[in-house]
Amino acid sequence: MAAEDTSVSGVSGRYATALFELARDQNVVDAVKADLDRFGTMLSDSADLKRLVRSPVFSADSQSKALSAVLDKAGISGISANFLKVLTANRRLFAVADVIRAYGALVAKYKGEASADVTVAEQLSDKNLDALKAALKSVTGKDVALNVKVDPSIIGGLVVKLGSRMIDSSLRTKLNSIKHAMKEAG
């Protein structure tokens, strides 16, 4: 299954595929996705957790103890917690963000959804998110799961990556192209 989807390859793809197959067999695909998404959000919001995950300085044992405390506090248990502990024991916790992304892609494919990475300057309202989903559904013919990232450096507009296609309507890109055109004209 994963061999035909190039977005899930390498170490993270193998781990994500194994987790997906286990979750599918136990009928907990959505619960595991929710747990992984929660862990991914915690990871992006906490510099200390990022350091724990990425730093090779921590031993597997100390990483495991710290991770267990984080998972208990977050209420992440079962397959999801065991999986994250296996990543830690195998010294692959540094790849957890890629594994979460790959797992999301497998879930989307399993459900017949497409997924799009969207970068915006500020958080979108529910109304705007729904409009964006509807627009992307009209293009793809599938329900589209959005992975929204806020990046104020794009100034305004949005950047949408859907599969191999990317639409960059950010104000930063438009200003850079005007600046480039002015340099060539001058």
User: What's the pLDDT score for residue 97?
Assistant: 92
Domain residue limits at 117: 113-185
Residues 30 and 117 in one domain: no
> Mean pLDDT per 10-residue run, the chain (186 residues)?
51 94 95 94 91 89 92 93 94 92 89 88 92 91 88 92 89 90 85
How many angstroms separate the CA atoms of 115 and 162, rounded?
7
User: What's the pLDDT score for residue 6?
Assistant: 42
User: What's the pLDDT score for residue 115?
Assistant: 82
Residues 39 and 59 in one domain: yes
User: What's the pLDDT score for residue 83?
Assistant: 96
Q: Which of 113, 133, 112 is nearest to 124 (CA)?
A: 133
- What is the rounded (10 degree) CA torsion for 14, 16, 18, 20? -150
Residues 75 and 52 in one domain: yes
CATH number, position 178: 3.40.30
User: 3-state SS string over the chain?
Assistant: CHHHCCCCCHHHHHHHHHHHHHHHHCCCHHHHHHHHHHHHHHHHHCHHHHHHHHCCCCCHHHHHHHHHHHHHHHCCCHHHHHHHHHHHHCCCHHHHHHHHHHHHHHHHHHHCCEEEEEEECCCCCHHHHHHHHHHHHHHHCCCEEEEEEECHHHCCCEEEEECCEEEECCHHHHHHHHHHHHHHHC
Rg, Å, the chain Cα set: 19
User: What's the pLDDT score for residue 3?
Assistant: 36
Residues 35 and 104 in one domain: yes
User: What's the pLDDT score for residue 7?
Assistant: 52
Residues 87 and 150 in one domain: no
Name the residue with tokens 């540094």: 94
User: What's the pLDDT score for residue 109?
Assistant: 86
How many angstroms separate the CA atoms of 25 and 20, rounded?
8
Residues 62 and 127 in one domain: no
Residues 89 and 130 in one domain: no
